[in-house]
Structure 1
Amino acid sequence: MGETGARGVSADEFLQIVLALPEVRQKEHTNWTGFNVAGKGFGYLSEDGETAMLKATLVEQAAMVGENPEAFARSYTSEQYGWVEVRLGAVPRDELEEVITEAWYLTAPQRLTDAYDLPA
């Protein structure tokens, strides 16, 4: 998968981050790869490795898009969640780690979140 600019991350780095979280499963589809925990989806990676979609709260969705529209775009909403499109080449690794971890945390069952130290 492609290289990125100085600030961004590659699809391989995205995979390293997401697959390091407890009990994450990935499933290949025609144009994307889905990621779930306990059978519930929290993220997707496009086939070309350029973009990802991640679950967020509506408040987080608005904040990310407002603060860094080069890296984040509003995708869709489902109930209390606002999915965010992430342009991997435009987002710093530390910020992406936080967004992925929060997406996992919103989705994982309490037995996992209670045992996981959410980064500050």
Structure 2
Amino acid sequence: MAAKLRERGVIVHRARFDPKLGLTGLGTAARMFRAPDPGQEVTLCEEDGMVRFFSVSPPSGAAELRRSLNRAEAALSTAQADLARRDDALAALTERLDRLEAQVRSAPPPAKRTRRPPADDT
């Protein structure tokens, strides 16, 4: 259950089930029967590996910070990939330029052209 909730973007906490405490109020009981939305926090109260009940609470500030951090990390990853592609393209162009410059340096000098004197029409 916890894995499925995490896949949906729900923050999952685990707690031991204490039958002496029971449900802490009608609000908790009402929230138990709905599916939590992404970003909400769920506390699973377990006993012997089975979920006895759970409570749902709105997203905390920490949860929003975590989502914001995840978005920033994704943007950074994309930017780093773009920069890596540009670095590769720049390296290829630099290598090509170096080869062309070497070819120009090793090419024989151009042949000298001699001008013919102007024709004498006299």
Give the TM-score of the pair, scaled to structure 2.
Answer: 0.22
TM-score when scaled to structure 1?
0.23
Task: Say which structure is richer in strand.
Answer: 1
Q: Relative contact order, CA 8 A, sep 6+: which one is greater?
A: 1
